[in-house]
Amino acid sequence: MVGAALACALGSNPITASLRVLVMDRGGPTEVTSPLPEVPDLRVSTVTPASVQLFQDIGAWEDVAPPRSAAFQHMQVWDEGGNGYVRYSAGNVGLANMGYVAENRVLQAALMRRLKDFKNSTLFWPASLEALTLPSYAPEAHEGPSTNSLAELRLADGRTIQARLVVGADGARSRTRQLADLRTFSRSYHQRGIVASVRTQQANDTAWQRFLPTGPLALLPVRDGYSNIVWSTSVQQAMALEKASPQEFALAVNEALNGGSTPAGNPLLPSRSREEFVAPPAVSAGGSKQRSFPLTLAGAGRYVRPRLALVGDAAHVVHPLAGQGVNLGFGDVRALSAALTHAVETGRDPGELALLEEMYEEPRQRENGMMMVALDSLKHIFAPQSGFVASVRGLGLDLINGTPALKARIMKYAMG
């Protein structure tokens, strides 16, 4: 998704449209039927307003907009272990909605369709990267690439390609990152994320998230009466849920979302500006089969080398609890395409280390780093805690819920 979005950003900008861009992927092109299959695919992404703007700028949004995706007007977060909750509404900050939820394959197909419009873009697949030769450099000396020394890629079928810049957008297990010898830190959450498409018994226009002792459970509207479940939980529970029948799975989701007591908010805090708690819709059996994915936190120490930049999950992987993963990647796309626009305008080499560091790596490391810390802290704050910590956590949620200015700031940050 992120690599294709970068190629579209370059192709749709008249300044960078002259750059010759080769997009390669070891998988095939993503195609979707029209109309879409009745049951949405289980891999979805929340798309923040900032990412919607990117899709609009590159001319790919019309293939993603509802009814092919769903907008959500509200977001509600609450804690099974306490009385606190927070409910956000787009109307309170003068917006029509807070974002959209779209199937990954719908986002990918929209980008692929648009890519075919750019005459300087070439698509190669299936094509797998096998070897990469980059100009040598000493990181501490901040040397740029030696003149005329291009990057060279060797594909699994033996073809070789030379490039002024290689962008590694090949996901969390990036081969490009390994071949470039860029070190990463990585920490397993020892959890898995269960994902599934489910039907809801009432219409859904809210992104719901309940923090359970084992991890957060999100219910997100997708389209045509279906919602998506992202349930982060222990490896053991994830394995059991993966094997559950549709009826057993629906029962488990309903118990996890609606079981126990309903939070009433702290009675000692002013209720004037507080939005009331709303019970989430019940889900019915019948949707997709559920699948699970391991959850990790990972980040590359450096995003660039001479003639190389990493974007998206190749550079950073976050917990899915706030649906920020691919949106951080789309933020990388905006920054890297701005750097390459600057290079073309000023006649600089697009693979020059100083340009990539100043205009891409520094701002993105700062932005992504802040979000990684925020999400990791949230994950730990909501980990199972003693009664006292759980009470303070509930009080925190209530304070946010009853303080419009603080709520608006958090909303703006989450919406990119």
Ligand X SMILES: Cc1cc2nc3c(=O)[nH]c(=O)nc-3n(C[C@H](O)[C@H](O)[C@H](O)COP(=O)(O)OP(=O)(O)OC[C@H]3O[C@@H](n4cnc5c(N)ncnc54)[C@H](O)[C@@H]3O)c2cc1C
Closest distance of CB 313 from ligand X, Å: 4
Q: Residues 274-303: x/- map of binding to ligand X (CB under 6 A)?
A: -------------------x----------
Applying the rule CB under 6 A, the residues between 230 and 269 that interact with ligand X are: 230
Residue 113 vs residues 14, 32, 58, 219, 223: alpha-carbon distances, Å = 19, 11, 11, 29, 21
Three-state secondary structure call for residue 39: coil
Q: In 213-271, at which residue ranges do the beta strands (DSSP E only) sit?
A: 215-223, 226-234
Instruction: Find the shortest distance in angstroms from Cβ 326 to ligand X.
Output: 4
Q: How many residues bind ligand X (CB under 6 A)?
A: 29
Q: Are the beta carbons of 271 and 219 closer than 8 angstroms?
A: no
- Cα 91 from Cα 80, distance rounded (Å): 27
Q: Does 2 bind ligand X (CB under 6 A)?
A: yes
Kindly write down the DSSP assignment for every residue of 55-107, as one continuous string. HHHTT-GGGTSTTSSEEE-EEEEEETTSS-EEEEEGGGGT-S-SEEEEEHHHH
Residue with Cβ nearer ligand X (130 or 224): 130
**Beta-carbon count within 10 A of 125 CB:** 12
Report the residue from 73, 128, 271, 403 that binds ligand X according to the rule CB under 6 A.
Answer: 128
Instruction: Tell me which stretch binds ligand X (CB under 6 A): 43-51, 238-246, 254-262, 297-305.
Output: 43-51
Structure tokens at 329: 């990647």
Q: Give me the amino acid identity at 329.
A: G
- Indicate whether 27 belongs to the interface with ligand X (CB under 6 A): yes
CA 379 from centroid of its chain's CA atoms: 16
Closer residue to ligand X (CB): 128 or 149 = 128
Phi then psi dihedrals of residue 393, to 5 deg: -60, -45
Of the candidates 105, 133, 113, which has an alpha carbon nearest to the alpha carbon of residue 44? 105
Site string for ligand X, 165-194 (x = CB under 6 A): ----xxx---x-----------------x-
Stretch binding ligand X (CB under 6 A), from 22-30, 157-165, 178-186, 371-379: 22-30
Choosing from 10, 112, 179, 195, the residue that interacts with ligand X (CB under 6 A) is: 195
C-beta of 83 vs 227, nearer to ligand X: 227
- Residue 40 found at the interface with ligand X (CB under 6 A): no
Q: Which of residues 350-409 bind ligand X (CB under 6 A)?
A: none
**Across the chain, how many H-helices and E-strands are there?**
11, 20
320 binds ligand X (CB under 6 A): yes
User: Residues in the site for ligand X, rule: CB under 6 A?
Assistant: 1-3, 24-27, 44-46, 128-129, 169-171, 175, 193, 195, 230, 293, 312-313, 320, 323-327, 329
